[in-house]
Amino acid sequence: MKKTILLVNCYREKAEEKIQGYHEWLKAAVARSGLDLAIVDAADQEPLTDLAGHSAVIVSGSQKMIAAGEVEPGLFAFLGANRRPLLGVCYGHQALAHAFGALVEKDGQKHLGDEDVFLRGSAGLFAGFPRVFKMYESHEEIVARDNDLERHFSILAESGPGLVEAIAHREFPLYGVQFHPERSGKLGIQLLVNFLKMIH
């Protein structure tokens, strides 16, 4: 049976243009992985709990700010209950952490452009990656290191100032990355290939 990946679009401005980059990223990774995979699109304001049966989930970035209350309650309920392989990107990463109680807050600066990311380990999502690599960033909010984050997630990567760049749930195949792999060239595609290998 053909596997499906649910792509949750959290964008509001230029939503179709933004999500097209995810489709191109997925197409490149699927070609490399050899999977027979179909993409199913949904928006974060839809009743996501009704979208059962997909093999994996990707949650996009967004212009919205979680710390400012710009959230869809249904998205958090969905993220908290989902046990399928899931990858949250930027806003999706922050929403995943927040769904398990972690704090998302303003960083005091805007991160825009390539930044160095430092790995804590090279297995799983980051198999085949160098210990330090560049990824494209575009965000003003960050996932804070607090007790809820540490209780539910392992920190896989961080940036130079010690900011959380990637997380993995301690029990379930749920991952978040603060950077934008869909805009980060070959390494961004490799990350998605690694994620797709988790689909059974």
Domains annotated for the chain, with CATH where assigned, are 3-196 (3.40.50.880)
Q: Rounded to two decimals, what is the model's pTM?
A: 0.95
Are 144 and 52 a contacting pair, CB within 8 Å? no
Is 70 exceeded by the pLDDT of residue 1? no
80-126 pLDDT, tens digit per residue, is 999 999 999 999 999 999 999 999 998 878 887 899 999 997 779 99
pLDDT per position as a tens digit, 33-89? 888 899 999 999 888 876 667 899 999 999 999 999 998 889 999 999 999 999 999
Structure confidence at residue 52 (pLDDT): 65
Give the active site residue among 137, 141, 158, 182.
Answer: 182
Q: Examine the residue annotation and report whether 90 is marked as an active-site residue of this protein.
A: yes
What separation in angstroms does the CA of 146 have from each of 97, 98, 192?
11, 11, 27
Lowest mean pLDDT across 65-69, 77-81, 159-163, 182-186:
159-163
Q: Which residues contact 84 (CB under 8 A, 6 or more apart)?
A: 54, 55, 56, 57, 173
Residues 6+ apart with CB under 8 A from 136: 113, 114, 179, 180, 183, 184, 188
The three-class DSSP label of residue 97 is helix
| Catalytic residue (one of 10, 90, 98, 158) | 90
17 flagged as catalytic: no
Note if 200 is an active site residue: no
